[in-house]
Amino acid sequence: MRRRRGVGRIVVLVGVATLAACAQNPAGTGSGLPTSGIYKVGKPYQIGGVWYYPKEDYGYDETGIASWYGPGFHEKTTANGEIYDQDELTAAHRTLPMPSLVRVTNLDNGRSIVVRVNDRGPYANGRIIDMSRRGAQLLGFDGPGTAKVRVQILAEESRAIAAAARQGTPAPLLAETDGPPPKAAPRGRIEVSGPSGPVTTVSASTGAPRPAVVGAPVPPPATVAGSMAEGRFVPAPVVAQMPVKPREAIYVQVGAFGSEENVAKARARLSAMGQRASVSLTRSGGLSLHRVRVGPLDSVDRADTLLNQIIQAGLTEAKIVVD
């Protein structure tokens, strides 16, 4: 399995064919798999000493670094049996159910799109999602290869397409791209030319295109535009412009601990590596947790190097976050 981490860098992993179906034949050429795919969560698995635990998590909301994959996987079978199309808005995620819909926002430029998760990956440390080539183009990072992003699951929409996949029935068409938008979700539209056809840009929910600004979060459009392809709901190339904070910082988060003893142990290990950690309090699921982080870091490359060092030191829950 190979995933693109950035320009000119390819990660090769052996023996994970059961996790990512990239090496399988497309449906209709002997695989016996339907192009519409199946509903799949999967069992826990380990890559490079790190365990991943797939689950239904309809409250998922995480920041980190995105990468993308394209020509080498075009028309190959994804982990849930769909056919990967580099020009569709799809993505690979390590743990979310397949299929599900997530909103991915580029925290550098405010561009935001909805994509369909239908594959497992990325397996490079420090990446939280692998976008299709088209997704990377619309978010504006197909050139550099990586971007700071926020990934949020669309809970109700994901439940709807998951239910259809379980039953083997065509997915519900959440919102058609042709014709006027629903009255409940007015939006401005600007048609612009893109690398793979027209792109619709919208300004979150205000009805008028505008650049990203610093301020309170603006909710995404109330509906998800898309179309049907082989019984699957595929999001349309609708780019929302979201407000983002300037200079989002990169950190390596070693963990979020409930006990001060575990915090002390993590800090001691980092100190032995010559790294100073900051500790901040957060709440998750009604619990108070202490986040242990190193940073801010000045580049993705620096974060990658540090993350790999920390994982090799035995702190395998470490990850890159953006804050």
Residue 60 belongs to a domain: yes
Identify whether residues 148 and 49 lie together within a single domain: yes
pLDDT digit string (tens) for 279-307?
999 887 788 899 999 999 999 999 999 99
Mean pLDDT (whole number) for 130-137? 96
Residue 25 belongs to a domain: no
Q: Which two tokens stand for residue 220?
A: 């995404």
Answer whether 202's CB lies under 8 Å from 221's CB: yes
Residue 224 belongs to a domain: no
This prediction's pTM = 0.77
> How many other C-beta atoms lie within 10 A of the C-beta of residue 284?
11
Residue 312 belongs to a domain: yes
Answer whether 212's CB lies under 8 Å from 262's CB: no
20-29, 92-101, 251-260, 288-297: least confidently modelled range: 20-29
Residue 270 belongs to a domain: yes
Residue 149 belongs to a domain: yes
Instruction: Tell me the residue range of the domain where 309 lies.
Output: 250-322
Choose one of 140, 167, 194: the last residue of a domain: 167
pLDDT digit string (tens) for 197-237?
555 655 554 333 333 333 334 333 346 888 888 778 889 99
Report the CATH number at residue 112. Answer: 2.40.40.10
Residue 90 belongs to a domain: yes
Report the CATH number at residue 299. Answer: 3.30.70.1070
DSSP readout, 186-232? ----EEEEETTEEEEEE-TTSSS-----SSS--PPPSS--EEEETTE
Choose one of 149, 167, 185: the last residue of a domain: 167
Residue 193 belongs to a domain: no
Choose one of 118, 146, 167: the last residue of a domain: 167
Q: Alpha-carbon distance 137 to 145, whole Å?
A: 10
Residue 196 has pLDDT above 90, yes or no: no
Identify whether residues 144 and 49 lie together within a single domain: yes
Number of domains in the chain: 2
